Structure 1
Amino acid sequence: GSSSSLSEELAHIKELLQKESQQRHAAEEEVKVLKNQLLPLRRPE
């Protein structure tokens, strides 16, 4: 009945949140890499 569809809905939402957090984590890692690549260029020597 409605209770089973509710738990399916919750499972779906949980899955979406996991994907989103994984994507955000990957984006943060990319930003770190880019910053590390840019640091030597900005350092005056």
Structure 2
Amino acid sequence: MQVRGLLCWHCDTWLEMCPHPSGCPWGDYLNHPPAAPLKLTYPK
């Protein structure tokens, strides 16, 4: 699993519940995570 970025508690809680594929901040974040170019992964 790749690191997507850093979010506050509120945004992190609602991120996975966003019904919009795009056009809202959470959907846009999921489609284009800011940390994606770094290709960091969580330790196992």
TM-score (normalizing by structure 2)? 0.21
**Greater Rg over alpha carbons, structure:** 1
TM-score (normalizing by structure 1)? 0.21
Between 1 and 2, higher relative CO (CA 8 Å, sep ≥ 6) is seen in: 2
Structure with the higher helix share, 1 or 2? 1
